[in-house]
Chain A
């Protein structure tokens, strides 16, 4: 205490005011009291307030609830789900929960995380409330302003405008994003009735090369990896060639469920080896991660075939009795160019490792070689897919329990074709791109299309931006998306939770399964089922094939689903259980749809697999760009879902972004640190992102997750992360015409 302070009370004549006297003690007491009161008031004001008295809050507001069986459409797996609908005493109806449907054996009643996001697909704040028509003179694409660029139109008017534009069948292009199976059937039917061959299914962007390579061998478009057969036989060994089995590979929910089974629930745990440039979720869950140079998966498959054939480990029974072209294939595979030592040089996998894995693979039955998108999305993708697929044949895993099976489909009632010839397989990406480039298209209709976000060269000098700006484009979809930003007319379709339809199980189980799609809630906006939109358009053009099952336009979607599924089971039963299951799969039919009727080994051009551009070969663009699809990339084209956003990259614990992932050595060479802003450049363009320096990455590779970089999808998606497609350039798979998404060289700079 200072001297002045101690002396003050003792000073002989302290100063006093005459009118008001207060002792020191009282002053302290009063001011303390005032302070305490103020504090109490502040506390009382800031104290959390209850909106209502506790008694009223604890009163039930739940009037009724039910679970409705329907199916998901957040990825192509289309799982059977059940949805909890509640009604409150205040009369509010809301969907509050989504779970797998236990009636579905396909994924054993489970659904993956994507299904849960369905709530936010339905309650997406950026849905279109009405049909919209673009005002003249407004700019399409990135600069879109949904509020001011469009004006409301009623359904009749919007459909009339489209019908007016439909003048020549050849000049119509139909783009098909992720749609319900029943709507896909109707879209094909519409194209057929109208007479346009130009239907492009965007799923082909990811799968055409892979499917093409498999079809070379067995002529069947629908082979799938069974993992666990109905009798409990499980795959014993999985060679995953850059395949995200538990991350993105379809059928995802089935893969996830059976992953739990093969890893721990069945005797003899399945061994999984992952060849992948990136330490993916699948690689981290596998028994062994073998980092490889991107694009060398096909060559590696041939090296494994080399070991199997040189050491006589192949399944002679299958190879001798059911295959064609084996001798030539064997001779080619056993040449020096595919020896483990030669392939080791380009793939960076040690020759001993190749030998060991080849032996393990051939000696654990049933074993499967699983080709992922990253292995087949190359200019030689069809060949790579074929080479990997042939490994399955060498070890006799074709059409056996736990191996590869051929998917069967439900026996739906025939499409009401009225004599239309049924053959419309659609066009390839290359053909579609050519048509647009040549100006051969006047009008395009996109059903949930996500084209601009999923093709290379989408922006900057990109041709897609320019092409789509020139096109008269009709977007059919429930919510804002980048394709809608190019639209001249937007038709708000229902979300899958408000729609009628049916879904078929995709390849994986062998046996057929059909799932219902029924509205769990009345349409939230003035949106209509895709089926009805097609029906109304067809009526305006008086197209055949849209009448026999009809009652009214309003009921068409339901009646069509009812008609098509009538051979399966009673409609009411189907609506309540939600799932129809076909008879058990019968193995070893070996019915190959090839010229020879056998499984065909093709050995032409296999040396092409060795001509891979490795990282570091080009000095200007020394790195290889690899994309991947995280589990929470919702595959319907929008990412405007906060739940999916905030848990986007589980391996990095990050949300609301994607990252430029590089190996620490590569980062060091380029002077890049964790979290720094970097620019990824290719000859086509550049994007900016945040660097993530990781150990789990092949040096010389840059990996970026897809699904971000939106700019016209709504408040939870726009401006988040970057879209790696923006720097890709277009090269086609030589056989299937699929763009090769993994063949882009980049360099990386500090921003």
Chain B
């Protein structure tokens, strides 16, 4: 079984947000409004944050793309009272909409702000994907899982899934999954696929031949909030 992880090169990333937009399109994430934005009610499975440091003229801004970290020791899973969030055997931390009772413990527990709460029902005119392939035949370990997305429900938590549906479908079809250093990539999560600077890589962290393993071996890397021992699998290559 693979151990999926993502590597993001902060030296290449220029904060263009193609990843965030590709994610919104792929996963049918509803857009917010100025009202939602003010109250942090808008939903992003992926967002790009900027952290300012230093004083004029010696300033430094880190632009950090933030998907879910898909921790090896996910605190959200520990606190979930209804087992709505769980870790798959391939390491992807999932959220089952149907089990979620909306207590939001996981949102509090997550040190990365990766989780979102549906404060309202998605209205029809917001962007929808009528096509969502609900019958991908996903082996989702007995759970119905987070599909289908077209009908969201107020009162549940949702989050990044590393585009598990693309990965599972590719594996079922016998296609390759993950980035390649020569540019001939296999199936990738939407954000990785869309990155115009190719700052993002996806693959099996347990496979020494995968692009992600090679990158981690070639450079120093950082894991966000490592001191919390969450063991994130979204790993950054600093500038």
Closest chain-B Cβ to A351's Cβ sits at a distance in Å of: 16
A-B contact pairs, 14 of them (CB 8 A): A49-B153, A54-B144, A58-B147, A97-B26, A100-B196, A111-B18, A112-B18, A125-B125, A256-B196, A260-B12, A264-B9, A264-B11, A642-B32, A647-B21
Contact A651 B130 (CB under 8 A): no
Contact A61 B155 (CB under 8 A): no
Whether B54 is near chain A, meaning CB under 8 Å from some CB there, is yes
Whether A335 is near chain B, meaning CB under 8 Å from some CB there, is no
**Main secondary structure on B side of the interface with A:** loop
Quick one: given A48-B156, A284-B61, A720-B34, are A99 and B194 in contact (CB under 8 Å)? Answer: yes
Quick one: given A60-B135, A696-B61, are A285 and B14 in contact (CB under 8 Å)? Answer: yes
* Distance in angstroms between the alpha carbons of A289 and B173 in the assembled complex: 49
Other-chain contact of B57, A88, A246, A289 (Cβ < 8 Å): A289
Whether B24 is near chain A, meaning CB under 8 Å from some CB there, is yes
Contact A289 B14 (CB under 8 A): no
- Of B45-53, B72-80, B86-94, B222-230, the one contacting chain A is B45-53
Contact A119 B127 (CB under 8 A): yes
Known pairs A61-B130, A647-B47, A695-B56; list 9 more (Cβ under 8 Å): A48-B153, A60-B133, A97-B25, A99-B193, A119-B25, A264-B9, A650-B15, A651-B63, A720-B34
Contact A96 B52 (CB under 8 A): no
Contact B135 A48 (CB under 8 A): no
* Distance in angstroms between the alpha carbons of A264 and B54 in the assembled complex: 25
Contact B134 A98 (CB under 8 A): no
Interfacial residues of chain B within 133-185, with CB under 8 A of chain A in the complex = 133-135, 144, 147-148, 151, 153-156
Contact A59 B135 (CB under 8 A): yes
Contact A88 B131 (CB under 8 A): yes
Interfacial residues of chain B within 1-54, with CB under 8 A of chain A in the complex = 9, 11-12, 14-18, 20-22, 24-26, 31-34, 37, 42, 47-50, 52, 54
- Of A339-347, A488-496, A652-660, the one contacting chain B is A652-660
Whether A86 is near chain B, meaning CB under 8 Å from some CB there, is yes
* Distance in angstroms between the alpha carbons of A632 and B48 in the assembled complex: 13
Query: Which residues on the A side are within 8 Å of B59 (C-beta)?
Result: 279, 289, 695-696
Chain B residue at smallest Cβ distance from A654: B37
Whether A631 is near chain B, meaning CB under 8 Å from some CB there, is yes
Whether A62 is near chain B, meaning CB under 8 Å from some CB there, is yes
Other-chain contact of B61, A107, A279, A664 (Cβ < 8 Å): A279
Whether A230 is near chain B, meaning CB under 8 Å from some CB there, is no
Query: Which residues on the A side are within 8 Å of B196 (C-beta)?
Result: 100, 107, 110-113, 253, 256-257, 260
Contact A256 B20 (CB under 8 A): no
Query: Which residues on the B side are within 8 Å of A120 (C-beta)?
Result: 127
Query: Which residues on the A side are within 8 Å of B17 (C-beta)?
Result: 113, 631-632, 647, 650
Query: Which residues on the B side are within 8 Å of A247 (C-beta)?
Result: 14
Mask, A351-382, CB within 8 Å of B = 1, is 00000000000000000000000000000000
Query: Which residues on the B side are within 8 Å of A59 (C-beta)?
Result: 134-135
- With most chain A CB atoms within 10 A of its CB, the pick from B31, B54, B129 is B31
Other-chain contact of A642, B33, B131, B193, B199 (Cβ < 8 Å): B33
Contact B156 A259 (CB under 8 A): no
Query: Which residues on the A side are within 8 Å of B133 (C-beta)?
Result: 60, 62
Closest chain-B Cβ to A184's Cβ sits at a distance in Å of: 25
* Distance in angstroms between the alpha carbons of A647 and B102 in the assembled complex: 26
Closest chain-A Cβ to B106's Cβ sits at a distance in Å of: 16
Closest chain-B Cβ to A520's Cβ sits at a distance in Å of: 14
Other-chain contact of A259, B63, B127, B153, B197 (Cβ < 8 Å): B197
Mask, A108-124, CB within 8 Å of B = 1, is 00111101110110010
Query: Which residues on the A side are within 8 Å of B22 (C-beta)?
Result: 99, 116
Interfacial residues of chain B within 109-130, with CB under 8 A of chain A in the complex = 125, 127, 129-130
Chain B residue at smallest Cβ distance from A58: B134
Chain B residue at smallest Cβ distance from A649: B50
Query: Which residues on the A side are within 8 Å of B16 (C-beta)?
Result: 112-113, 246, 256, 631, 650
Query: Which residues on the B side are within 8 Å of A110 (C-beta)?
Result: 195-196, 198
Which 7 residue pairs across A and B have the least CB separation, nearest first?
Answer: A260-B197, A86-B131, A48-B153, A642-B31, A116-B21, A110-B196, A246-B14
Closest chain-B Cβ to A510's Cβ sits at a distance in Å of: 20
Interfacial residues of chain A within 61-97, with CB under 8 A of chain B in the complex = 61-62, 65, 86-88, 90, 92, 94, 96-97
Mask, A196-208, CB within 8 Å of B = 1, is 0000000000000
Query: Which residues on the A side are within 8 Å of B103 (C-beta)?
Result: none
Query: Which residues on the B side are within 8 Å of A123 (C-beta)?
Result: 127
* Distance in angstroms between the alpha carbons of A65 and B132 in the assembled complex: 11
Whether A646 is near chain B, meaning CB under 8 Å from some CB there, is yes
Query: Which residues on the A side are within 8 Å of B55 (C-beta)?
Result: 664, 695
Other-chain contact of B199, A60, A86, A260, A720 (Cβ < 8 Å): A260
* Distance in angstroms between the alpha carbons of A260 and B17 in the assembled complex: 15
Whether A694 is near chain B, meaning CB under 8 Å from some CB there, is yes
Other-chain contact of A58, B49, B131, B148 (Cβ < 8 Å): B148
Mask, B185-196, CB within 8 Å of A = 1, is 000000001111
Query: Which residues on the A side are within 8 Å of B54 (C-beta)?
Result: 695
Whether B60 is near chain A, meaning CB under 8 Å from some CB there, is yes
Quick one: given A260-B199, A291-B57, A650-B15, are A96 and B50 in contact (CB under 8 Å)? Answer: no
Whether A50 is near chain B, meaning CB under 8 Å from some CB there, is yes
Closest chain-A Cβ to B35's Cβ sits at a distance in Å of: 9
Query: Which residues on the A side are within 8 Å of B42 (C-beta)?
Result: 646, 655
Closest chain-B Cβ to A638's Cβ sits at a distance in Å of: 16
Closest chain-B Cβ to A269's Cβ sits at a distance in Å of: 8
Query: Which residues on the A side are within 8 Å of B47 (C-beta)?
Result: 647
* Distance in angstroms between the alpha carbons of A112 and B14 in the assembled complex: 11
* Distance in angstroms between the alpha carbons of A282 and B13 in the assembled complex: 11
Whether A663 is near chain B, meaning CB under 8 Å from some CB there, is yes
Quick one: given A48-B153, A48-B156, A120-B127, are A643 and B56 in contact (CB under 8 Å)? Answer: no
Query: Which residues on the A side are within 8 Å of B131 (C-beta)?
Result: 61-62, 65, 86-88, 94, 96
Mask, A254-294, CB within 8 Å of B = 1, is 00110110011100000000000001011011000101000
Query: Which residues on the B side are within 8 Å of A289 (C-beta)?
Result: 57, 59
Contact B194 A116 (CB under 8 A): yes
Query: Which residues on the B side are within 8 Å of A111 (C-beta)?
Result: 18, 194, 196
Query: Which residues on the B side are within 8 Å of A60 (C-beta)?
Result: 133-135
Contact A113 B21 (CB under 8 A): yes
Query: Which residues on the A side are within 8 Å of B20 (C-beta)?
Result: 113, 647
Closest chain-A Cβ to B155's Cβ sits at a distance in Å of: 5
Whether A51 is near chain B, meaning CB under 8 Å from some CB there, is yes
Contact B134 A57 (CB under 8 A): yes
Contact B15 A281 (CB under 8 A): yes
Other-chain contact of B52, A655, A665, A694 (Cβ < 8 Å): A694
Query: Which residues on the A side are within 8 Å of B198 (C-beta)?
Result: 110, 257, 260, 265
Closest chain-A Cβ to B185's Cβ sits at a distance in Å of: 10
* Distance in angstroms between the alpha carbons of A61 and B132 in the assembled complex: 7
Query: Which residues on the B side are within 8 Å of A99 (C-beta)?
Result: 22, 193-194
* Distance in angstroms between the alpha carbons of A655 and B59 in the assembled complex: 23
* Distance in angstroms between the alpha carbons of A100 and B26 in the assembled complex: 15
